[in-house]
Amino acid sequence: MPDRVILFIDYQNVYKGARETFHEPSLAPGRDGQIDPLRLGTWLVENSRFERELTEVRVYRGQPHPLRDAKGHAAFMRQRVTWEGDPRTVGVFRDLRYPRGWPDRCPPGVKPQEKGVDVALAIDYVRLALEGRYDVGILMSTDTDLKPALEIVAAMRPQGGPRVESAAWNGPGAQRALSLDQPKIWSHLLGRSCYDVVRDPTNYAVPF
């Protein structure tokens, strides 16, 4: 039987990484760097030398507040509806934290921040492994705060636990993929050819 694969995506990390690797962030429109989560998961499975089946793609990201950022929330909801059109895509969203006085009465350049997203991802990565929900867990992020979750699940491997893998963009300016000293884990290094297939050029700021 094929191995069941779940892809865990730290979406904002992946988005920013794509912009830094494949675009000029200061010049690129906001949609550059967007990816289709399900298309990315499918690409990873289809380009594996092992027999695998994509059972789920879990997307973790911050959620704009409908009152504090109506336009941002509307764009987010359009993107969310698109993602969740396939039942294999599961969104895990947490409200953004807004700085005091945002947007008009705060220091220039200060932006809302994600809070608790990496914690939610780490907990689910471990929880779903303990529940036996996946045979291969691919975590796409370069946030080193997530390494403890990889370590915990990797330690389960000798007792029949799932296989731990990471993924990251590969190219000039790209951040290093997450890795472990012991045990070694496989890292998927995704270059321009992958990005061109999985990128999503939709302008979600514009109503469909």
Q: Helix-strand-coil percent breakdown of the chain, rounded to 5?
A: 35, 25, 45
Rounded to whole angstroms, what are the CA distances from 5 to 2, 132, 158, 187?
9, 11, 19, 15
Predicted pLDDT at 109: 75
Contact 45, 5 (CB under 8 A): yes
- pLDDT tens string for the chain (208 positions)? 999 999 999 999 999 999 999 999 999 999 999 999 999 999 999 999 999 999 999 999 999 999 889 999 999 999 999 999 999 999 999 999 988 877 777 787 788 999 999 999 999 999 999 999 999 999 999 999 999 999 999 999 999 999 999 999 999 989 999 999 989 999 999 999 999 999 999 999 998 7
3-state SS class at 13: helix
Tokens 């039942």 found at? 87
Residue-level pLDDT at 208:
76
**Cα separation, 11 vs 164, whole angstroms:** 19
- Indicate the pTM of the whole model: 0.96
> What does the pLDDT read at residue 104?
75
Domain covering 3-198, topology: Rossmann fold (3.40.50)
Residue 153 CB partners (closer than 8 Å, separation 6+): 125, 126, 129, 137, 161, 162, 164
The pLDDT assigned to 100 comes to 85
Query: Residue 106: its pLDDT value, please?
Result: 76
What pLDDT is attached to residue 3? 98
pLDDT confidence of residue 63: 96
**Ramachandran sector of residue 104 (left: φ over 0; alpha: ψ -120 to 50; beta: rest):** alpha
